[in-house]
Structure 1
Amino acid sequence: MCPSWWLWALVAVCAADVFRDEAERIMRDTPVIDGHNDLPWQLLKMFNNQLQDKRANLSTLAGTHTNIPKLRAGFVGGQFWSAYTPCDTQNKDAVRRTLEQMDVIHRVCDMYPETFLCVSSSAGIRQAFQQGKVASLIGVEGGHSIDSSLGVLRALYHLGMRYLTLTHSCNTPWADNWLVDSGSDKAQSEGLSLFGQSVVREMNRLGVMIDLAHVSVATMRATLQLSKAPVIFSHSSAYSLCANRRNVPDDVLLLVNQTRSLVMVNFYNDYVSCAREANLSQVADHLDHIRKVAGAGAVGFGGDFDGVTRLPTGLEDVSKYPDLIAELLRRNWTEAEVRGALADNLLRVFEAVEQASNHQQAPEEEPIPLDQLGGSCRTHYGYSEASTLHHQPGALLAALASLLFSLCLL
């Protein structure tokens, strides 16, 4: 006669298989769209973007969370690849570095056309799904990549950028980052400066998704109130479950609900459990919490694979997505809710951003004031003395005061 513990263990295993099978059935029709993957950064670090190096073959690539077999096993059908350049490039070569990372994403699509389809629209994602390919989109991670230039923002859009993370782990001259909330950085813009507001409006006009991962809470609130289209958090989790300032607090989740925006949950242990160790179940807790506070339509996945050093047990690489979906089914998520988290929620937001865009509208043109730009290597073309004073009323008053003082001394 079998011991009771053995029988219950057998029942648990069988139930797990049922949920796993159900997850795969759903994902064959609705593959996952992941909001953030840093494989392009790994290609730079490991191979200096030399894709013809035999070690860089994505079918056999080792030592990364992502390669072609793992993407297939994980039913990944859409991926926002991160065009990331670190904060130390700000006021230096950030634009060049960003262009190089965008280039390597396009070249991956060219080298593996049987697997990847570079797209720049929601319709393109659906087309890739139909062809059984990984819809590959570009997300630029960090507002410093546009070098405080609306012209650069527009140029990156034309090259395929479809979301821009307003900051990384540093302030830009026009938006504050999350370290402000931790006390490790000082607020400069108290959220968004006037120029930062212009950036948001121009992203709305173009049809670029606004990504609030990495920004301060003040920047979150200011952007959610200003944007005419839903926004995303491409790789952030719930602050109530892990009090790391990279995560989204509940009052902001309520704004996410009101604006029909999207939080794509990050898998980095430090943002999941606030500890070195985490597990798949704790990631599901974050998904549960965001669904509870912001609604099932606000949930997505932004694993941050190949951008982090520690991942939860059970989510070691991109192949593990079906196990996470099985856990959600085990927690009584409906099939519609699961499909939403996998792809439908992101597609809804993307389509809303596209619909809110208006290329017939005049673009934003007012440049950032010269005195707000950092760096000693800049040229100042376009910033004539007259236009500089026009944008800096304080400087004009100071000049007049100086003149009056000089006259008084005469």
Structure 2
Amino acid sequence: MSLLAVLLLAQAAPAPATEVPARITRLLEHSPVVDGHNDLAWEIRERHDARVEAVDLSANTAALPYPMQTDIPRLKRGGLGGQFWSVWIPATVTGPRAVEMTLEEIDIVRRFVAANPSAFAMARTAADVRRVQREGRIASLIGIEGGHQIDGRLSVLRQMKALGVGYMTLTHGKSLDWADSSTDAPRANGLTQFGRDVVAEMNRIGMIVDVSHVSDATMAAVLDVSKAPVIASHSGARAVADVPRNIPDDLLRRIGAAGGVVMANVYPAFVSAEWRAWDQQRTAFAKSQGLATDAYGPKSPAPLLAWDAAHPMPRVTSANVADHIDHIARVAGKGAVGIGGDYDGIGGTAPEDMTGVDGYPRLFAELARRGWSDAELAALAQGNVLRVMERVEAVAASQKSMPPVDATEPD
């Protein structure tokens, strides 16, 4: 073998495991993660009665009576430089109360950002994200997680944008009259005319369309009509874990071809079909005993601890998450994949070596061992989603002379 061939082979080979941590540290210092989805705001609301300033995010929130997966020290250890904070509300809350509750959630985000000015700064654009990162802070963006949160009014959508909302997930767990959820019976069979108006207005005002949670038919319809690339803010590959919330290969290809990004989720129920089946059995047992279904680990009630001992939980690790990222990259291209962990929206569950937001370096180390280059990892961390943001901004700029759409959802 020639010397040139030896050198090329050495360049192509994955880095030895002992060399990866320092490499990943350097990489994430230069190109920190911009994560597509985190539910810290809802956790503060539910677990701490929305007493934002009473929650010390500069300390370890895993040590709280109700442990959380996010705090500033772990965000920094995890290499985060940008975070879309979800302002999720239950899909069962509709009408004017859904709008009110969304405003309350936005207020929670703005308050915890303001309470920690050395760590966080609000951001709206890709340029804002880069500026805040240069300041050594975490760019804080906002995403709405369900079209029910605008109460069928594009005027409300526009006001959410004015308040700094960067994306809207079209549905959550329940179908709407104008768009269908992946986990509910269809009502729109894709998108109705009002649903198409929602997408068009999001394009016009520069709000990213998020297709996590939507049905396959709705996702296809969005891709048919959107003039800007879309994201799936926290999803996986259905070919790796066959669950409805994950995305099939044909739609992965379409998202990639349109310049969009699928941001990989770490929730074991979406990462591993085996774990999901185990959890469904555990949930059924908990319900049969009249127990809460969201308790995991040593603080679970005694009957669940006994059930867990008899039914060991399937292992889920960063390698399983990496399998999804690898698959999305193979099908849609390495420019079509990002990170959207869903931390603090997944209860007490997470991959065993990614239990909080500090786990991302382990995921990047796993991908490095599989041969991902620094440039590819930097694109995964933030380059791909920032490119989408810039393109969405450009599409909006090209339509700035167009008037607002006055449509409301038909009664």
Give the shorter-chain TM-score range. 0.7 to 0.9
Q: Percent identity?
A: 42
Q: Distance in 2 between matches of 1:214 and 1:111?
A: 32
Structure 1 counterpart of 2:39: 38
SS of 2:406 mapped into structure 1: coil
1:256-405 matches, within 5 Å, as 256-276=255-275, 277=314, 278-309=316-347, 310-357=349-396, 358-370=399-411
Which residue of 92, 100, 105 corresponds with 2:104?
A: 100
Q: Which runs of 5+ in 1 are unaligned?
A: 1-13, 180-184, 371-410
Q: Which runs of 5+ in 2 are unaligned?
A: 1-14, 276-313
Q: Distance in 1 between matches of 2:386 and 2:17?
A: 29
Which residue of 173, 177, 191 corresponds with 1:173?
A: 177
Structure 1 counterpart of 2:230: 231
TM-score normalised by L of structure 2: 0.84
CA drift at 1:188: 1.1
CA drift at 1:192: 0.5
Q: Superposition RMSD on alpha carbons, in Å? A: 1.1
Q: Distance in 1 between matches of 2:154 and 2:264?
A: 29
For the 8 Å contact 1:78–1:125, the answer to whether it is kept is yes
SS of 1:163 mapped into structure 2: strand
1:66 matched to 2:70? The reply is: yes
What amino acid is the match of 1:270? Answer: A
1:242-299 CA distances to partner (integer Å, 9 max, x unpaired)?
Answer: 0001001000011012101100001010111113331110110100000000000001
Q: Distance in 2 between matches of 1:108 and 1:327?
A: 32
For the 8 Å contact 2:167–2:210, the answer to whether it is kept is yes
Q: Distance in 1 between matches of 2:143 and 2:356?
A: 20
What amino acid is the match of 2:144? Answer: V
1:60-139 matches, within 5 Å, as 60=59, 61-62=61-62, 63-91=67-95, 93-139=97-143
For the 8 Å contact 1:148–1:173, the answer to whether it is kept is no
1:21 matched to 2:22? The reply is: yes
The 10-residue stretch of structure 1 (84-93 or 347-356) with the greater mean CA deviation from structure 2: 84-93
Q: Distance in 2 between matches of 1:123 and 1:353?
A: 13
The 10-residue stretch of structure 1 (237-246 or 60-69) with the greater mean CA deviation from structure 2: 60-69
Q: Distance in 2 between matches of 1:330 and 1:80?
A: 28
TM-score normalised by L of structure 1: 0.84
1:17-38 CA distances to partner (integer Å, 9 max, x unpaired)?
Answer: 3111111111111000110000
What amino acid is the match of 2:351? Answer: P
Q: Distance in 1 between matches of 2:359 and 2:330?
A: 24
What amino acid is the match of 1:190? Answer: N
Q: Distance in 2 between matches of 1:115 and 1:334?
A: 29
Q: Distance in 2 between matches of 1:331 and 1:114?
A: 36
SS of 1:235 mapped into structure 2: strand
What amino acid is the match of 1:331? Answer: R
Q: Distance in 1 between matches of 2:402 and 2:323?
A: 43
Q: Distance in 1 between matches of 2:371 and 2:115?
A: 41
CA drift at 1:15: 3.4
What amino acid is the match of 2:194? Answer: F
For the 8 Å contact 2:34–2:385, the answer to whether it is kept is yes
Structure 2 counterpart of 1:391: none
SS of 2:53 mapped into structure 1: coil
For the 8 Å contact 1:31–1:75, the answer to whether it is kept is yes
**Count of equivalent residues:** 350
SS of 1:275 mapped into structure 2: helix
CA drift at 1:92: 5.5
SS of 1:221 mapped into structure 2: helix
1:360-403 CA distances to partner (integer Å, 9 max, x unpaired)?
Answer: 21111122222xxxxxxxxxxxxxxxxxxxxxxxxxxxxxxxxx
